[in-house]
Every structure is written in C-alpha cells, then in structure tokens.
Amino acid sequence: MKTLPILAISSLLLGLVQTAYADHHEMSGDHAGAQMHSWQDADANKDGVISKEEFMAKHQKQAEKMFSKLDANKDGKVDEAERKSMHDKCERHAK
C-alpha cells in the first residue's frame, strides 16, 4: 500500500532533478539571475552555504507545488490519467 506514494514521490524528485539539470544547461540572461536568487533563498540562515536541511526544505516546497499541479482532482494521489495529462502538456509546451 505504501508503494504508490513512494513511486509518486520518486517520480516527482526525478522530475525535479531533470528540471534542475535542464535549467543548469540552459541558463542565460534573466534566467541565470532567477536561478541564483532561488539558491540564495534556500540559504535560510544566510550563512553563505546551503545545509542539507535547507536544501531539503527548499525542494520539499517545490515537490509539494509540483504534486499539486499533477493531482488535478485533488484526491492526494496522481493516477495514470493525471500523469498522462501532465506529460501531454509538457510535450505541447516543448514544441
């Protein structure tokens, strides 16, 4: 029974990693500044470094936002139809 939430969270994290990788390799102009600002925001105590706790907190917020977008019917689960819908939206956006 716990397999579905673990798979959903794993998928979300994989998506975040892929997005971060793509952003890193496509940084330019304002986007580069936004990326730097995002990392500065992660440094909650402003000590110039990002601890594991700060990193995890920042990415937890992003994962929650992403899950909310995926969970179209707001039932706390991402089913195959919702996953396919998001995949299709991403494909249309990429074209």
Is this model's pTM higher than 0.75 or not? no
CA distance 36 to 31: 9
Q: What is the mean pLDDT of residues 44-66?
A: 91
State the total domains in the chain.
1
Structural domain that includes position 72: 49-95
pLDDT mean across residues, the chain: 78
> Residue 66, Cα to own-chain centre: how many angstroms?
6
Instruction: Say whether pLDDT at 72 is over 70.
Output: yes
In a domain, 92, yes or no: yes
Radius of gyration of the chain (CA): 15
**pLDDT tens across 5-49, in order?**
676 676 666 666 666 555 544 444 555 555 566 778 888 899 999
The answer as to whether 31 is a domain residue is no
pLDDT of amino acid 52:
94
